[in-house]
Amino acid sequence: MVELVVFVSSNTVGNLATEYASPYLSYFFRFGKIVEEFKIQRKALELKKDRVKNDVDAAIRRTEAIEKDVGDSLTRAENELGVTQILEDEIGHINCSKWCPNWGWRYWLSKKLAKKTLLISKLLETCNFSPIGRKLKYITLT
């Protein structure tokens, strides 16, 4: 019963905090939502990276040259997934999605996750490639 009251009151306070007060208060009260959004964006990036990697492998098998922006985006996605894995481990290390006694840790992690979610979202927007590679032109020597 006490958990229900705490959950309802923290959810209400979180909604009011994000609506009327500083957005920094939302890091405290909307931790669960921030974590959920982060996980969704991370999974989307992982799926997108796998899809682009498969397309790159197929283009290489067709002896096509891979566009530079495709390779750069793939590298950035792999780097971001490595960094986000560390954050994912932090989330799993101390699970405080409902109540967390360490407010400093909760604030720090929420802020990092929110920034990383925004960065992943922007990266996903730039990873839409129609041509992955281009045919190589061979010069015949006569």
pLDDT tens per residue across span 25-84: 777 778 889 989 999 999 999 999 998 888 888 888 888 887 788 788 888 989 999 999
6 has pLDDT over 50: no
Give the Å distances, CA to CA, from 27 to 18, 19, 51, 93, 110.
9, 13, 33, 18, 5
Domain range summary for the chain, segments of one domain joined by +: 2-126
Residue 4: predicted pLDDT:
40
Instruction: Give the pLDDT score at 36.
Output: 93
pLDDT class of 116 with cuts at 50, 70, 90: very high
Spatial distance between the Cα atoms of 123 and 120, rounded to a whole number of angstroms = 5
Q: What are phi and psi of 65, to 5 degrees?
A: -85, 130
**Any alpha helices (H) in 21-67, and if so which ranges?**
26-29, 31-61
Single pTM value for the model: 0.70
